[in-house]
Amino acid sequence: RYTPNMGKGFAVRTGILASRGRFILFTDADLSTPIEELDKLLKPIANGLCDIAIASRALPDSKLQVRQPLPRELLGRAFNVVVQALLLPGIKDTQCGFKCFRRKAAFDIFPRQRVFGFAFDVEILFIARKLGYRIIEVPVRWINSPETKVKLFKHGFQMLLHVLLIKWNALCGEYNAVTPVPHFVRAIEFFANPQATTNELRQD
């Protein structure tokens, strides 16, 4: 846990950049998407159909065993309309927290990240498309967790502002370069993979 809190997106980025696997998954801590659904995301990547597979609650074959409260679900749909209109046409669910990346894609995308709040998923997928990575939505089994930390109106408004910020960043060319990784994140990466991190630091 960071003090002060740097945001969910920052925590995910830190974990991604410290990872060592061929395929890299991040998932919500409450496991709203059961880990047993992982194979559904791995298969299209392993078979060369995509570089990134994301869980979706908005596809015909998705199974929502426990749905969100209606106001939250309606605002989520409205948010996706804005996201599709401004940034990601064709992607029906950016916010399901179960996403799998080919390693090369993850390490190309996450260092360009600028947004660390709850809308970071939108930015990551936007950067992926900008860089030419293939994204597939996969229907999954999903169970709503009543203990979500996302405040409906407070975080919803922040996420909308972040969508506008992502659009502005794109127009300004902000995603053409990577963001420097803070030193304490480099320390985490070093303990995970000393040789690789040492080589990167030499190149810097």
What is the total residue count of the chain? 204
What's the CATH number where 81 sits? 3.90.550.10
For the chain, give the percent of residues with pLDDT over 90: 66
> Would you say residue 99 lies in a domain?
yes
What is the rounded average pLDDT for all residues in the chain?
86
Q: Which domain holds residue 63?
A: 8-203
> Would you say residue 168 lies in a domain?
yes
162-203, pLDDT tens digit by residue? 999 999 999 999 998 887 655 444 444 444 454 544 444 344
Number of domain units in the chain:
1
> Would you say residue 133 lies in a domain?
yes
Q: Using CA atoms, how far apart are residues 103 and 16, in angstroms rounded to an integer?
A: 9
What is the per-residue pLDDT for 69? Answer: 85
> Would you say residue 1 lies in a domain?
no
Q: Dig out the tokens for 182 from the structure.
A: 């803070």
10 Å CB burial of residue 186 (0-12, 13-18, 19+) is middle
